[in-house]
Chain A
Amino acid sequence: MKGPYLSLKVWGVYAVLLLAAVPWYWPAGDDTRWGGVPAWVVVAVAGSAAVSVYTAWLLRRPWPSEEE
């Protein structure tokens, strides 16, 4: 039985989301704030929320063991 999430596409999407969510690229010294929260934090949290949504979306399909 092949695992339900073993595809390059799934892990490729996660790799892109990871690189976007961790603000390694954010310019040092930037002090933009949105609603009092540093802009880079808002982007990092939005990235994490995107990972959560994508994971929940992947989990919507039944696993092979549910169909047996």
Chain B
Amino acid sequence: MNEGLLPFGVGAWTFIALYLCSLLLVGWWGYRARREDSMKDFYLAGSGFGFIVLVLTLYATQYSGNTLFGFTGKTYRIGYAWTMSVHFMTAVIVFYLLLAPKLQARAHSRGFITPADYLHDRFAYPPLSVLASVVMIVALSNYLLAQLMAMGRAVEGLSATTEIDVYTWAVVGLALIMVVYETLGGLRAVAWTDVLQGVVLMIGFVILTVLVFVYFGGPETSALKILAQEGGGEKLQPPSWAMSREWFSYIFMVGIGAALYPQAIQRLYAARGPTVLRRSLQVMAFLPLTATLIAVFIGITAVAHFPGLEGADADRVLTVVFRDIQAQGGVGYWLVVVLFAAVLAAIMSTADSALLSISSMFSSDLYRRAAPGAGEKSLTKVGKASSWALIVILVVLAIALRHTTLLKLLDRKFDLLVQLSPAFFLGLHWSGLRARPVFVGLVAGLAIALVLAFGVSGKPWGIHAGLYGLPVNLVIAVGGSLLAPGERSAAPG
């Protein structure tokens, strides 16, 4: 993979090092700006974010290493059919319509820190809140692992040395920087670095689009080259019925699942008010057309110009594109340096948000329950310690599992998260929904999703395993609530 690469020179690595140091500096500012040693101040940045910070932190958190590497890689494998990614990222905002207005209002009036705080407030049934937290921690750890692996691949793809294991050092080094600024400044540091990373990422997408057009030609050039390849025309074909089923499945699976990302829910909590949140979502509705669609066009360009990559190498096809641009001239070299910073920005801004969210859930939802007398200061300390412990475990796993493809990891996370949708979506709008049926439904949905995903196939008949578990989950939650009139009913909002 590293053969024939153009390595970054001293100037380029200095630029990248300065960028990484600026993240640490922002982390330090976040630490200096803290008002008190409380959970709310550390995990929700006290009084919350205004419009610009909220849009950029939502953007940088949602568009990740998966968008850049996984999505270009998936387009490389299946062709234009991955246009479905534009649809499913838009679907996330559509599902927020059902979630954001009521959840944000309730979070502000009750002082929620984690998603499980809502469940506890709504259902007052500890087994449900604890299981939901465990599901979210597992799903998010999976996500964080994928981001760490993407970091390693990004650096490995642009380094020419064979004397050291670049992947391992990149994962360790970047994870260390991230955990330092995260534990220094909490959500303030994470969101402020997101602002920096979001801007770098936006600039990166613009540069990438221009460069690809200039160096490789437009879509017509790509289409003609693809048609000239043996069997290449399939990647331009409309989806078969089987692919269309997968397309619908992705829209519901990612649309619902990503709306329930704990780190995204915590950003709804951290919005300064409903107006700021509503306006941020208006902007977010259009961002898939800029970010995800560009990833699809890059993937198609790669199919045309760099055919023949398979497996984990296909995930790294973006670095192959970068290398080629670098090889063609001086300006290209420096633009690739900026793009590389954008890649790191995309990955780290998603990973740090996931890490902070897991830390808050471990401390607030699990540790607080085990040690009910613990004060705010001690809970925050436990949260920080859990960040360090988790990052060590995941770095070891990222090194051990380096040859797994990114999309496989991405899919399993949503199988789990969608099972929480009855408790959140239905629980907010229907006061008749009861705790025990929701809990039993969640257990049944998780069992079906996991058995199908790991025992049968990730997507039986082209539909994600989680979407087989969800209807059963929903029938139990709704049916059980209608048949159990004696149980306590809580006001939905």
Contacts and interface: CB of A to CB of B under 8 A. Distances in A.
Interface string B86-102: 11001101100110011
Interface in A51-68: 51-53, 55-56, 58-60, 62-66
Given A23-B244, A38-B238, A48-B288, A55 B90 contact: yes
A62 B83 contact: no
Contacts of A49: 289
B94 A56 contact: no
Nearest to B248: A22
A22 B244 contact: yes
A63 B289 contact: no
Nearest to A65: B105
Contacts of B273: 66
13 contacts: A1-B105, A22-B87, A26-B238, A30-B238, A31-B236, A33-B219, A36-B219, A37-B80, A44-B86, A59-B285, A63-B101, A65-B104, A66-B274
B429 A28 contact: no
A45 B104 contact: no
B244 A24 contact: yes
A22 B251 contact: yes
A15 B223 CA distance: 32
Interface of B: 80, 83-84, 86-87, 90-91, 93-94, 97-98, 101-102, 104-105, 108, 218-223, 233, 236-241, 244, 247-248, 251, 273-275, 278-279, 281-282, 285-286, 288-289, 293, 428-429, 493
Contacts, number: 134
> Interface centre among B240, B274, B281, B293, by most A CB within 10 Å?
B274
Given A4-B101, A22-B251, A36-B221, 5 more contacts: A22-B248, A24-B244, A37-B80, A40-B80, A52-B286
A20 to B, nearest CB: 11
A55 B288 contact: no
Given A56-B285, A63-B101, A24 B239 contact: yes
B430 to A, nearest CB: 10
Interface residues of A, number: 43
Nearest to A24: B244
Nearest to A63: B101
B220 A55 contact: no
Interface of A: 1, 3-6, 10, 14, 18, 21-24, 26-31, 33, 35-38, 40-41, 44-45, 47-49, 51-53, 55-56, 58-60, 62-66
Given A52-B289, A55-B285, A28 B238 contact: yes
A29 to B, nearest CB: 7
Contact of A29 (B108, B219, B237, B282): B237
Nearest to B104: A65
A32 to B, nearest CB: 10
> Interface centre among A26, A31, A55, A60, by most B CB within 10 Å?
A55
B87 A48 contact: yes
Given A37-B219, A38-B80, A5 B98 contact: yes
Nearest to A27: B238
Given A23-B239, A51-B90, A52-B288, A3 B248 contact: no
A55 B96 CA distance: 10
B97 A5 contact: yes
A59 B236 contact: no
Contacts of B289: 45, 48-49, 52
A65 B137 CA distance: 30
Q: Which 5 A-B pairs have the closest CB atoms?
A: A36-B220, A36-B219, A24-B244, A65-B105, A26-B238
Nearest to B241: A24
Contacts of A55: 90, 93-94, 97, 281-282, 285
Contacts of A53: 285
B278 A63 contact: yes
B93 A23 contact: no
A58 B288 CA distance: 18
